[in-house]
Amino acid sequence: MAEAGVALACDLGGTNLRVALVDGAGTIRAAEKRTLVDRAPEAVVALLAALAGEVLRGQGTTIDRVAAVGIGVAGPCLGATGVVVVAPNLGWRDVPFGAMVERALGRRVRVVNDLSAAAWGEAAVGGARGAKDVVLIFVGSGVGSGLILDGRLYEGCGGLAGEFGHTKVVAEGGRLCGCGEHGCLEAYAGGHNIARRLRELAAEGRAAGILRAAGGDPDRLGGAALERAAEEGDPEAVALRDEIGRMLGVQIANVVTLLNPARLILGGGVLTGMPGLKARAIDWIRRATGRPQLARLTVLDAALGDDAGLIGAGLLALAGEAA
Amino acid sequence: MAEAGVALACDLGGTNLRVALVDGAGTIRAAEKRTLVDRAPEAVVALLAALAGEVLRGQGTTIDRVAAVGIGVAGPCLGATGVVVVAPNLGWRDVPFGAMVERALGRRVRVVNDLSAAAWGEAAVGGARGAKDVVLIFVGSGVGSGLILDGRLYEGCGGLAGEFGHTKVVAEGGRLCGCGEHGCLEAYAGGHNIARRLRELAAEGRAAGILRAAGGDPDRLGGAALERAAEEGDPEAVALRDEIGRMLGVQIANVVTLLNPARLILGGGVLTGMPGLKARAIDWIRRATGRPQLARLTVLDAALGDDAGLIGAGLLALAGEAA
C-alpha cells in the first residue's frame, strides 16, 4: 500500500493552515494551504478536515489508509491530551483541539507545539540528524524554542516547555512583551517588538538613520531597516543591534550551558533576514557558553525552512505509531 | 534475602566519601564516612572498596548480594560510561571512575552527578514524590542543579547538563568564577565567592557593617555575616544581598520558564543559612517566571538534606536494575 508509513501532517499558524502527506523520510508528498478567515476552533477544525480531504483525494487515498495524523500548532500544547494550552495568534486558551480533530477525522491525532515539531523534524531529517539532545531556537515575529532531550520531545509538565522567548533579560523596568509581562527576551528580539521599538524611537526623533534606511516610512521600520542602517554604520542602529545580539546570544548560551545539547539549530525570519545580528548573537553564544558545553556543541542553521513544523508533526506522529 | 532491593550507595564530595546501604524506600540501613586524604582516583577507589567492605560486613552481607551499586560524584558525569567529566574539588578530569570501581568491586556501577542524584532522591522519596518534571537548585559553596525531565534523569550529551551555576548573569566585566570564566551565577551566589567578595570589600574599607557582623575578623566574612548585617539594616549588606537574591531568582525563573517543571526544589547551605536571601530569591522567582509556568509550579525545600545524594544514587542504581 502506497500509504504505509505516510502521515497526514498539519501546521496551524496564526495566519495559515497547511495540510500535507509526509512520508517517513520527511518528504512532503502533497500539500494544501489556506489563509485562516475564521479562527474559532470549530471553523479551524472544519477547514482542516476539508483540506485533509482534498490532499487525500488528490493522492487517491483516504484517511483510514494513512499511518498517523500529526498537527503542529503555534502555541504551547499538551501532547498527551491534545489540548492547545495557549495560542495567542489564534486567541485560543485550553482548547481541546486534538479531541475535536479526532472527532472530525475519525482518527487519533498527535498535537504538538510547532517549534517542538520543527525541532523534531530537524533532528530527524535535517542538519541535526542522529543527535539525541537538540535545542532549536527560533527568532521571528516571536521568539521560541523546541527541545529534544535524550531523544524525546520535551514538553514540560503543562506543555509550556521551550517558552524561551519569555525568559527575562531585564529584571526591572523592561519593555512590555506581547504576553503582558515585562523584560522578556521576545520584547527585545522578536520581529514585531523590534519594529514597535523603532517606531517609538522614530516618534521621539531618535532613529533618523534607521528611518532613512526604511525609506523615510515609519511603517517600513523593522529588522531589515535596522540591519541596513547598522551595516551603514549609523551609531544608533549599531548600538541597538549590538544590544539585541548580546541579549539573544547570552540567553541562548545559558540554555546551552544548562542543557548541554549536541546541536543548536538557529532559525526564524529575524535571524535569516539580519545576518549581522545573527553573527553578533553567535559571537555571544561562543563567549558566554560554558567552555566544556561549547566544546561539545555544533551550531547549525535550520535546514527545513517553513516546512520544518509540517514535516516534524508528520514524523512525530509516525514515531508515536511505531513506539 | 534481606538484601533484595538494597543498593550499595556512595557519595563522593570534595572533602568526604560516604558509603551506605540504601533500600528501595530510600532508607539508609547503614553508613560509613571518611575524610579524603589522598584524592588520586586510585586512592579514592581503594577507600571506597574498603568502606563498602565495612558497611557490607556490618550488615552481615556481601557485595554479590546487593541489588545494585550507585555513586554520586561532585562533578559532571556521563552515566552511560561512568566517566567523571570534571570534578574541580577532586582535581579530576575525564576519569573512568565507573570502570575503576567496577574492577575493584566486581559489580556494575552507576555513576551520576551528585546533584542529579539528589534531584532523583527528592523526586523519588522526598517532597517532589510523584512529579515527572523536577528541577533541583542547590546553592552552597558552589551553585548547581539536577534535572529530572519526563521522569528521567537528564544528563546532556556530555554529562554536563545542570551546570546552572555557570550560566552567565553578567555579560561583560563580570566577576571571575572558580571555573576560570567571568560573570557566572556561582561567582556571585556561591558561598566561597560571597566570602571572597566580602573580603575584597573589607580590604577596600567598604564593608564596615558586614565586618562588624563577622566579629571584626575578615576570615569569618561570609554568607552568615552578610545575612546578619542585612537584617540589622546595614545599607551595603542590604544592597549586596538584594543583588544576589535578584540574580539567583531571575536565573532560576528563566529555568522554570524554559523547562516548565512541576516542582522546584531549593537546597544548599547558602539558602538554608541565609533565610533573608532565600526569601528575596523566591520573590524574584515569583516575579520573573512566566505566569503560566508559575501557575503550574510548586516550590519546595530539599527534604533529604545531606543524604539526598547518597539516597538518590542508591535509588537510581535500583531503578536502573529494574529497567
Beta bridge partners of A112: A72
Q: What percent of chain B lies above the pLDDT cut of 70? A: 98
| Residues on chain B touching A84 (C-beta within 8 angstroms) | none
Q: Collapsing DSSP states into helix, strand and coil, what is residue A17? A: strand
Q: Judge whether residue B322 has pLDDT over 70.
A: no
Q: Please report the pLDDT score of residue A2 as a whole number.
A: 43
Same fold, B6-123+306-322 and B130-302: yes
Tell whether domain A130-302 is in CATH 2.60.40.10: no
Give the number of other Cβ atoms within 10 Å of residue A31's Cβ.
Answer: 17
Sorting pLDDT into bands at 50, 70 and 90, what band is A213?
Answer: very high
CATH number for the domain running over B6-123+306-322 = 3.30.420.40
Place of cell 516548565: B260
**A154–B288 C-beta distance less than 8 A:** no
Domain residues of chain A, as ranges?
A: 6-123+306-322, 130-302
Residue A80 pLDDT level (bands cut at 50, 70, 90): confident
Cβ within 8 Å, pair B258-A163 = yes
Q: What pLDDT, in 10s, does the model give residues A11-26? A: 999 899 999 999 999 9
From chain B, pick out residues whose CB is under 8 angstroms from the CB of A258.
145, 161-164, 167, 255, 258
pLDDT tens sequence across A172-187: 999 999 999 999 999 9
pLDDT higher than threshold 60 for residue B3:
no
The pLDDT of residue A1 is above 80: no
> Looking up cell 584524592, which residue turns up?
B39
CA distance B119 to B309: 8
Q: Which has more confidence, B62 or B126? A: B62
Average pLDDT for B232-261 = 98
What is the average pLDDT across B45-61? 97
Q: CA-based angle B214:B218:B219, to the nearest 5?
A: 95
Q: Predicted confidence band at B14 (pLDDT cuts at 50, 70, 90)?
A: confident
Q: Does the structure's ipTM exceed the value 0.85?
A: yes
- Residue B293, C-alpha cell as written in the block: 509556568
Residues paired with A110 in a beta bridge: A70
- CB atoms inside a 10 Å sphere around CB A120: 30
The answer to whether the CB of A161 falls within 8 A of the CB of B258 is: yes
Q: Which of B76, B157, B260 sits opposite A133 (nearest CB)?
A: B157
- A 10 A CB-CB count for A294 gives 16
pLDDT in tens, A215-228: 999 999 999 999 99
Q: Which candidate, A161, A259, A74, places its Cα nearest to that of B133? A: A161
Residue B78 has pLDDT above 90, yes or no: no
Closest-CA distance, B117 to chain A, in angstroms, reads 17
pLDDT value, residue B320: 86
* pTM metric for this prediction: 0.96
Give residue B4's pLDDT.
63
B296 contacts on A by Cβ (under 8 Å): 157-158, 160
Which residues share a beta bridge with A279? none
pLDDT in tens, B95-113: 999 999 999 999 999 999 9
Contacting residues of A for B256, CB less than 8 Å apart: none
Mean pLDDT of chain B: 95
The average confidence (pLDDT) of chain A is 95
**A4 pLDDT exceeds 70?**
no
Tell me which residue has cell 537548585. B137
Burial bucket for residue A48 (CB in 10 Å: 0-12, 13-18, 19+): buried
Classify B272 as helix, strand or coil.
helix
- Say what the pLDDT of residue B1 is: 40
pLDDT of A265-287, one tens digit each? 999 999 999 999 999 999 999 99
**Whole-number Å distance between alpha carbons of A87 and B284:** 27
Q: What are phi and psi of A221, to 5 degrees?
A: -70, 135
State the Cα–Cα distance between residues A28 and A24, nearest whole angstrom.
10
Residue B2 has pLDDT above 50, yes or no: no
pLDDT tens digits for range B152-211: 999 999 999 999 999 999 999 999 999 999 999 999 999 999 999 999 999 999 999 999
Tell me how far apart the alpha carbons of residues A99 and A104 are, in angstroms, rounded to a whole number.
9
Mean pLDDT of A32-40: 96
β-strand A6-12 against A16-23: which pairing, if any?
antiparallel
